[in-house]
Amino acid sequence: MSAVKIGIIGGSGLDDPDILHSRHEKFVDTPYGKPSDALTIGQIEGVDCVLLARHGRKHDIMPSKINFRANVYALKQEGCTHLVVTTACGSLQEQIAPGHIVVPDQFIDRTYKRIQTYYDGEEGSPKGISHIAMHSPFCERTREHLIASVKSLGLTCHEKGTVVTMEGPRFSSRAESKMYRILGGDVINMTTVPEVILAKEQGLCYAAIALPTDYDSWRESEESVSLDVVMKTFAMNAANGKKVLLDVIPKIAKEDWTETIQGHVATAKEAIM
């Protein structure tokens, strides 16, 4: 039975290091530069975990400037087998209300400034080109654990969802928000892409806890998304995200993940030409 180590990437307002016991900080470097902040290494109920603030602990790194490659690489280098991440988002569907939790299973990429692969042909990068399969971007088994935990806590869970990742840092225009709904988007954020792709290239079990704070900009009858609207829901979402992490991580660690991890690693290797 392979030991698991859980990497936690905390999104906006969702990166509290106090969830870890016996914690210490570790500053690291990678071939792709420095990650967003120091790694906080500790445990949740005896399970080894590594926490990283996606935007930095001061939340001073805008989405387009996040070094996603360094973040994911640093966590893999630290021995993580799983990445369980939190992400604030806007809702694109009436039935997904602020305060609910979505466990995404698909994404639509609307970014245009981000490097999405480790295999970029640059000096020091791994050789070849990775044509990584993305039909199932997220780890289904890890998703199932998240869904079960959210339900066990009595929180409203949407078991599937397509997350639209836009470039940011601005919010959507009303026309854009309506277009994303037509395209099949359920929630919208600024960070799932390329994070999920890079995790797949690294052979990691990756799943996300998406926490809607608002209805984006598509509703004619309601105030459109603004920072003030978002902040009003932040505290509740942060508390719920923390509850899910504290519940799900010990449950993940109780199971044998050998075959699942081997499958993700094989998928990553088989994608390289």
What DSSP assignment string belongs to 124-176? TSPSS-B----SS-S-HHHHHHHHHHHHHTT--EES--EEEEE--SSPPPHHH
Find out whether 32 is annotated in a ligand binding site: no
Within 13 Å and on the Cβ side, how many CA atoms surround 184?
9
Q: Is residue 71 part of a domain?
A: yes
Q: Is residue 126 part of a domain?
A: yes
φ/ψ of residue 6, rounded to 5: -100, 120
Q: Is residue 242 part of a domain?
A: yes
Q: Is residue 100 part of a domain?
A: yes
Residue 130: predicted pLDDT: 98
List the domain range (segments joined by +) for residue 51. Answer: 6-271
Residue 1: predicted pLDDT: 67
* pLDDT tier at 226, thresholds 50, 70, 90: low
Find out whether 247 is annotated in a ligand binding site: no
Active site residues: 214, 216
Single out the residue of 206, 208, 198, 203 nearest to residue 264, CA to CA.
203
Find out whether 145 is annotated in a ligand binding site: no
Q: Is residue 135 part of a domain?
A: yes
Sign of CA dihedral 244, 246, 251, 252: positive
Residue 126: predicted pLDDT: 95
- With a cut of 90, say whether residue 232 has pLDDT above it: no
Single out the residue of 234, 249, 237 nearest to residue 101, CA to CA.
237
Q: Global pTM? A: 0.95
Residue 151: predicted pLDDT: 98
* pLDDT tier at 224, thresholds 50, 70, 90: low
Q: What is the CATH number of the domain that holds 154?
A: 3.40.50.1580
Find out whether 216 is annotated in a ligand binding site: yes
Q: How many structural domains are present in the chain?
A: 1
Q: Is residue 108 part of a domain?
A: yes
Single out the residue of 265, 262, 87 nearest to residue 189, CA to CA.
87
Find out whether 152 is annotated in a ligand binding site: no
Q: Is residue 1 part of a domain?
A: no
- With a cut of 80, say whether residue 158 has pLDDT above it: yes
φ/ψ of residue 267, rounded to 5: -60, -45
